[in-house]
A and B are shown apart, each in its own frame.
Chain A
Amino acid sequence: MTTTIAEIATYLPPTSMTVEQVGKVLGLRPAATRMYRRFYGLDQVRWAPDEQLTDLLIAAASRLELLRGNEHRVRYLLHARSIEPAAPYSLNPLHQARDKLGLTNAVTFAVSQHACASGLLAVSVAGRLLAADGDADALALVLTGEKTYPHVTEVTPAVTVMAEATAACLVRSGGTRDRLLASASHTYGEFHDITIRTGDIATAFEQNYPVALEQVVQAAVERAGLTLADISLVLPHNVNRISWVQLCHRLGYPVERVYLDNVPVTGHCFCADPFINYRSARSLLRPGDHYLMASVGLGATFSAMVFQH
């Protein structure tokens, strides 16, 4: 059965901070902050200083209209993690969220190792689990988004600012709405040391990045039996604007069809970006339109998924 997205909801924490304010918190040099604003197209990020991970996950999931009254149908609850350790072992924020959302029938677990591309991986895992079970009535809930900390900045390439918005994606096997047509993913293991930020390997990653992203985008589109011209909208990760402008140039794809409006609003929200962008850009999609979600994770995994709305 085809994996479909039944609904996506998001939570944008109310606190907006400018990249200059964030720079002070993270100890960034003023020159770096100016670079974020002028070169990478960043402006503000959404942080939730008074909320913990459980709060952020519940805030997104509780905005799902289809979830209310259907909690018993949720067979799997997945949290896609960029960075796996989230809290002290025995506190388990994900299972706290499960209990507070009333998803007592859900087999609940975190999915990781594709870093910020783990969100698309989790949709794939959820769809395959539901398909194997063969229960067309069952649902899976994929949660994305994490708390950010200063150490995240130390391993993240200095091309983005991390933020704390979250998304909840309700997945079905079967159905007609937002059908997953094809996906592509490739991990380049030579970049498995995520602390390397200078030298030959860092340079190779920078050079490989647009090539690898182009390849997974093209592969997903071809597997869907389409061409790029058939893709009405790209829902990207919100790392920055310039990398998507450059990728569009390589692909010969109009940058106006890449939804970049959230880049200066939310910042890069770990695995949640494509889902946040879906919610923001939903009104741009007409029934039957094809769209593509794309993410890149340190380590380094490049992933793309093609859906039909």
Chain B
Amino acid sequence: MTLPLRVAEVRHRRFHADPENPPLAGMVDFFAERIQPYEVPMAPHLHHERNRNSYSAMSTAVIAPDEQLDLVVIAHAVPDCDTRLSLGGLLSGDSRLVLAVSDQGRVAPFTALRIAQSYAASGEFGRVAVLAMDQSSVPYEDPELVALSADTDHAVALFLSSAGSIGMPSLVHITAVTDPADALELELAALTPDVVVAGTFVPEVPGGRRAAADQLCTGVWSALAAELAIPGPARRVVVADHEPALGYLCLAAFDVPGEPHVAA
């Protein structure tokens, strides 16, 4: 299988606290209403003390308004800390189709990539960005978010087109995974990678590059950006991430030509 879109560029940006960024009016109350039925205690200090970088602000720092794109597929694990702005509207430009994938934890960007490839297969959407984002300004305690960096938020954009230099030979979603080590071994045997970029919960791979543990859905993609920036011979890089809470193991293969093509 060869997917129609190839990677032309990967951009990774980090975002920190902005002293000019005030508390987001009404957003603590917004989340309070939504989590109240589930009896989860609020923690407004997490909103007030953290960066409050909205996905709107982060996305527009990574994707320029005049960037030539037909489709933007956003992927996020944590909800936006500011839902007062429509991210879809903000990024729509003249005629871009913008949509977002969520509720899939760490593997949402893999699904975003699959959606992007499926739209490109129709021939209508040739210039695509898949944008993964993590932010931590969520005003309640959640056991699955404790490892998320409190001071650095991340956005990683993969720009894709048929003319990109990095091919995508394979994109794999495995569901209901109970033994990730077995499943991973089988998939890696078929994909024959030179380098594996592995997420936090992916079983140990000899010689693999381990993604940062304090990112959720951006970890393996920022690690991919770093890997692609290293000069070297032609190689196959496989990005793998496992979402144990939801039972997903996902892999994406990239055939990188023998020179540095992408700036991190």
**A residues engaging B (CB < 8 A)?**
52, 79, 81, 83-92, 94-95, 104-115, 118, 121, 125, 128-129, 131-132, 147, 149-151, 154-155, 185-195, 298-301
Contact = CB atoms under 8 A, between A and B. Distances in A.
Central interface residue in B87, B97, B145, by most chain A CB within 10 Å: B97
A89 B100 contact: no
Interface string B74-92: 1001111001111111111
A131 B142 contact: no
Contact of A131 (B79, B90, B121): B121
Contact of A86 (B34, B89, B118): B34
Interface stretch (B15-23, B103-111, B201-209, B222-230): B103-111
Interface stretch (B24-32, B179-187, B231-239): B24-32
Given A79-B103, A88-B40, A112-B100, A106 B90 contact: no
Contact of B122 (A114, A128, A150): A128
Nearest to B77: A89
Contacts, number: 159
Contact of A95 (B80, B101, B103): B103
B115 A105 contact: no
A132 B83 CA distance: 32
19 contacts: A81-B102, A84-B100, A84-B102, A87-B38, A88-B40, A89-B145, A109-B102, A109-B104, A109-B111, A111-B101, A113-B88, A113-B98, A132-B117, A151-B26, A185-B97, A189-B89, A190-B89, A192-B92, A194-B84
Interface in B234-259: 245-248
Given A90-B143, A113-B87, A299-B86, A107 B38 contact: no
Interface string B115-155: 10111011000000000000000101011110000000000
Contacts of A115: 86, 88
Contacts of A155: 84
Interface of B: 26, 29-31, 33-35, 37-38, 40, 74, 77-80, 83-93, 95-104, 108, 111, 114-115, 117-119, 121-122, 138, 140, 142-145, 173, 175-176, 245-248
Contacts of B117: 132
B175 A85 contact: no
Given A131-B118, A186-B95, A84 B80 contact: yes
Given A85-B34, A300-B89, A95 B143 contact: no
B37 A114 contact: no
Contacts of B93: 189
A115 B95 CA distance: 17
A84 B83 contact: yes
Given A113-B98, A125-B118, 19 more contacts: A81-B102, A84-B83, A87-B38, A88-B142, A90-B145, A94-B103, A104-B176, A108-B104, A108-B246, A109-B101, A109-B104, A112-B88, A112-B102, A113-B99, A131-B121, A151-B26, A192-B89, A193-B86, A195-B84
A149 to B, nearest CB: 4
B102 A87 contact: no
A136 B102 CA distance: 26
Contacts of A114: 88, 99
A83 B85 CA distance: 11
Contacts of A106: 175
Contacts of A128: 115, 118-119, 121-122
Contacts of B115: 125, 128-129
A188 B89 contact: yes
A151 B33 contact: yes
Contacts of B245: 90, 92
A165 B59 CA distance: 33
Contact of B78 (A89, A107, A194, A300): A89
A190 B86 CA distance: 10
Contacts of A109: 101-104, 108, 111
- 9 cross-chain pairs, A with B, having the tightest CB-CB distances, nearest first: A299-B86, A192-B89, A113-B88, A85-B79, A132-B118, A299-B89, A187-B92, A110-B103, A90-B144
Contacts of A121: 99
A149 B34 contact: yes
Central interface residue in B103, B114, B245, by most chain A CB within 10 Å: B103
A189 B104 contact: no
Nearest to B95: A186
Nearest to A90: B144
B57 to A, nearest CB: 13
Contacts of A105: 175-176
B84 A89 contact: no
A92 B86 contact: no
Contact of A89 (B29, B87, B142): B142
B246 to A, nearest CB: 5
Given A86-B34, A87-B38, A95 B89 contact: no
B99 A112 contact: yes
A107 B173 contact: yes
B98 A149 contact: no
Nearest to A86: B34
A82 to B, nearest CB: 11
A91 B39 CA distance: 11
